[in-house]
Amino acid sequence: MKERKKAFVFDTTKGFARFVKISYSKYFNFVGCTNLKNFNAIDFTDVEVAFFLINSDDEMLQLMNVYKNVNFVFLSSKIDINMEVYKMEKIIFVNHNQKKKDFILQTTFMLKELNLI
């Protein structure tokens, strides 16, 4: 079995983070953050990929910090985000509101395409 890569998950509501961790724990060792106060304590060394759910405007700054520290970001948002984010190369948009099965199929396909799993 391949060595598990390091991944980061951010979600201040915790449901998305829990779902991602359960779904991909056989592929990744997760570092997580569910609270803006603890964000600066995260060590991004060796983090290959991030799963990031934006719940509020305040979280956009954290997204930019994650973006510059990882190879790819799987991004979902509960708010309208700046159109410039859509042009960022390392961001893969996923719909967290779709059925869990469809989310897993879409995300797994992209992770395989990127040789992350």
Question: What pLDDT, on a 0 to 100 scale, did the predictor assign at position 85?
Answer: 66
DSSP string, the chain: -PPPEEEEEE-TTSHHHHHHHHHHTTTEEEEEE--GGGGGG---TTEEEEEEEE-SGGGHHHHHHHHTTSSEEEEEESS---GGGGG-TTEEE--TTS-HHHHHHHHHHHHHHTT--
CB-based contacts of 47, cutoff 8 Å, min separation 6: 6, 7, 8, 31, 69, 70
Tell me the two tokens of residue 15.
């449901």
Question: What pLDDT, on a 0 to 100 scale, did the predictor assign at position 3?
Answer: 79
Question: What pLDDT, on a 0 to 100 scale, did the predictor assign at position 60?
Answer: 82
Domains and CATH numbers, the chain: 5-113 (3.40.50.2300)
Q: Cα torsion at 59, 65, 66, 68 (round to 10°)?
A: 150
Question: What pLDDT, on a 0 to 100 scale, did the predictor assign at position 24?
Answer: 95
pLDDT by residue, tens only, the chain of 117 residues = 567 899 999 998 888 899 999 999 999 999 988 888 888 888 888 999 999 988 888 888 888 888 888 999 888 887 676 656 666 788 888 887 889 899 999 999 999 999 999
